[in-house]
């Protein structure tokens, strides 16, 4: 499976036509790796809790996922400072990235 397309400004990846915010590029490599490991651990804990039917543990794991995503800059306040809005979950074709996305889709 090929890597998802990254917008020219590096803010988003496009998955199935939708924009998803990337991690803050100013994060130190070691810190980013630590946060990604925590995110994966939290996601694993969430899955295990769901499979066991432990709703309290699911909620704890959800909070861990949210905290890791916020620390990575993928949720919460945007990491850029030019006033551009957060377009996470928007269809790329309906945003200011529409022309770029059309060229990516048709291979130009």
Q: What is the pLDDT of residue 1?
A: 65
Three-class SS of residue 21?
Answer: strand
Question: Residue 82 — pLDDT band, cuts 50, 70, 90?
Answer: very high
Three-class SS of residue 13?
Answer: strand
Question: Residue 3 — pLDDT band, cuts 50, 70, 90?
Answer: confident
- Assign 3-class secondary structure to 79-98: CCCCCCCCCCCCEHHHCCCH
pLDDT digits (tens, 9 = 90+) for 6-55: 999 999 999 999 999 999 999 999 999 999 999 999 999 999 999 999 99
* Mutual angle of helices 55-72 and 29-52, in 10-degree steps: 160
């Amino acid at each position: 499976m090929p890597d998802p397309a990254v917008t020219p400004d590096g803010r988003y990846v496009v998955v199935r036509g939708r924009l998803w915010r990337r991690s803050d590029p100013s994060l130190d490599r070691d810190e980013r790796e630590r946060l990604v490991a925590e995110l994966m651990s939290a996601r694993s804990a969430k899955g295990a809790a769901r499979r066991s039917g432990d709703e309290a543990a699911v909620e704890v794991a959800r909070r861990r996922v949210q905290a890791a995503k916020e620390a990575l800059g993928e949720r919460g306040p945007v990491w850029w400072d030019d006033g551009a809005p957060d377009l996470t979950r928007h269809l790329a074709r309906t945003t200011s990235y529409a022309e770029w996305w059309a060229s990516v889709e048709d291979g130009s």
